[in-house]
Amino acid sequence: MIPDGWASLRGLSVRRCEDEGLLNGTWLAGDPPRYVVQRVSPVFAPEVHDDIEAVTSHLAARGLATPRLLRAGDGALWARDGAGAVWRVMDFVPGRTHHRVGSPALARAAGELVARFHRAVDDLEHVYRHVRAGAHDTALHMERLDGAATGGEGRRLADAILDGFRTWRGRLDLPVRHCHGDLKISNLRFSEAGEGICLLDLDTLALQSLDVELGDAWRSWCNPVGEDSTETRFDLDVFAASVAGYREARPLGAEEREALVDAAERIALELAARFCRDAFEDRYFGWDPARFPTRVSHNLHRAAGQLSLARSARRQRGEIARLLAEG
């Protein structure tokens, strides 16, 4: 189980975290919790911890709250268990986790928190050691989906996703910057009063463009029913509030506003392609056996939901553009 490399964990109770994500196994140590203990998915190389340490050190120096890695007794940022799995320990940051944005007020706080993070890392000088090649290469994800989809219901859904990307109107040429890389709402920590505290789940830190970063945020935040529903819609009230909150801490340039118009649609299509591809390959995403008989059926369901969200964003493109152009 957990390697015996962290003296601070000894004697503490350990329980599985209810808000565990799709990839890393997560436990809470202490009652009340003092540390987050994670068995890191093999999709993340151990060098990701050097990136996490560099960025969180920079954030802390700028006065921002952030979870920090706890070094093991030998000074390392991570350790392996007897089976070779990588483990890490981080500070537990008290607060609330939300799995959907239930109000414009929360969306505004989320936008402001992300903007504070972006502003804080504007002057960060760091070369990432763990690079997820092609993580948001949307065209490549579509190519891989086309190659994996063999037939049946999944193939019909794949064709609809591929057609959505072929007719997408956006641009792919914004410059890269330091980004979190996975701003679904459950990766943001809030106070009980609804104020943004910090960003969590830092394995995806990377250089990428702002439209990818915020497009991923909006496809999560502006979906009022979550990823496990096919009855999705893009919520303009939540979108407007998040944009207003972001601009409170960091203004958006004209080129950024133009590229952001089609960002949420793009990332929803991209995630739909990834879910749909895993319905054929059956090996990547976690799934809920209490609700679905197989990983395949869960991924087809999630892919259909993301396609529905992309279509809703496209229908409201004019309003999205107007809201981004304001201020």
As a whole number, the mean pLDDT across the chain is: 93
Give the model's pLDDT for residue 327: 55
Strands ordered across the beta sheet of 96-97: 96-97, 188-190, 196-199
- Whether residue 218 contacts residue 212, with contact meaning beta carbons closer than 8 Å, is answered with no
| pLDDT of 236 strictly over 70 | yes
CATH superfamily membership of 7-94: Phosphorylase Kinase; domain 1 (3.30.200.20)
Give the model's pLDDT for residue 217: 97
Q: Are strands 35-40 and 176-179 parallel, antiparallel or unpaired?
A: unpaired
Q: What is the DSSP annotation of 102-146?
A: -SHHHHHHHHHHHHHHHHHTTT-----SS--TTTT-HHHHHHHHH
Mean pLDDT along residues 142-148: 96
Q: The tokens 């879910």 sit on which residue?
A: 275
CATH level 3 topology of 104-325: Aminoglycoside 3'-phosphotransferase; Chain: A, domain 2 (3.90.1200)
The whole-angstrom separation of Cα 209 and Cα 202 is: 17
- Whether residue 80 contacts residue 3, with contact meaning beta carbons closer than 8 Å, is answered with yes
Give the model's pLDDT for residue 44: 94
Tell me, rounded to whole angstroms, the distance of Cα 205 from its chain centroid: 10
Strands ordered across the beta sheet of 25-29: 14-16, 25-29, 35-40, 86-91, 79-80
Give the model's pLDDT for residue 268: 96
The whole-angstrom separation of Cα 145 and Cα 273 is: 6
Predicted model pTM: 0.90
Boundaries of every domain in the chain? 7-94, 104-325
Give the model's pLDDT for residue 132: 84
More confident residue, 226 or 143: 143
Q: Are strands 188-190 and 86-91 parallel, antiparallel or unpaired?
A: unpaired
| pLDDT of 215 strictly over 60 | yes
Mean pLDDT along residues 91-100: 93
Give the model's pLDDT for residue 133: 79
| pLDDT of 178 strictly over 80 | yes
Q: The tokens 């000074």 sit on which residue?
A: 75
Instruction: Count CB-CB contacts under 10 A for residue 151.
Output: 9
| pLDDT of 22 strictly over 80 | no
Give the model's pLDDT for residue 20: 73
Give the model's pLDDT for residue 277: 95
Residue 167, burial from CB neighbour count under 10 angstroms (0-12, 13-18, 19+): exposed
